[in-house]
Structure 1
């Protein structure tokens, strides 16, 4: 009886392995199409070029930029000018350029995406 039970378990394990292999095969057939969509130069989502407002352009520069580039340039500016609150690293203090953009003396780093979204078109 023990061997029948063991054979039954092995058969179930084999079926699970076959199911897993089939799902891998399906995923691998989709990979080339997904790879093409994720290539550089795409214009969707975070990679779409947007035009910064005048206030935002004072910090990140003129011209169409991807949202990812805008976020990177914002953080580059914040770190270069030491605008992170040393007591609370999540807080960003406004200077002459960031003040008009933020509308406050300091904001949370979690508000940056909302501020950026409000200042691009």
Structure 2
């Protein structure tokens, strides 16, 4: 198989995983106003909120100083840039895979 063909299927798999829509927690639902969203879109909207409300610490741009609305989602007053994705992952409840229906 040519390398390009192998790479393209890997790109398709990762792209579909990135764009997959998940149900969100009640807190994230209240913040974003949606019941389902992809993880990348969530990060995009959170960063837009942070930038729009000037919540980055001016002395240390790697820190986010949460207002009350963002604190309700992240649970902390100050969040490090690298913590953000981990704190948001808790708002995407794990869905248990159901076992296939028994055949008669």
After TM superposition, the score normalised by the length of structure 2 is: 0.74
CA distance in 2, matches of 1:113, 1:89: 16
Q: Which is greater in Rg?
A: 1
Contact 1:59 1:74 in 2 (8 A): no
Gaps (5+ residues) in structure 2?
94-104
- Which of 11, 22, 29 aligns to 1:57? It is 29
CA distance in 2, matches of 1:33, 1:60: 37
Per-residue deviation, 1:54: 1.8
Gaps (5+ residues) in structure 1?
1-25
Deviation string for 1:56-86 (max 9, x for gaps)?
2233331321111111111011001111111
2:59 aligns to what SS in structure 1?
coil
CA distance in 1, matches of 2:41, 2:86: 15
Count of residue pairs brought into register by the alignment: 93
After TM superposition, the score normalised by the length of structure 1 is: 0.65
> Which protein has the bigger helix share?
1
Q: Which runs of 4+ in 1 moved over 6 A?
A: none
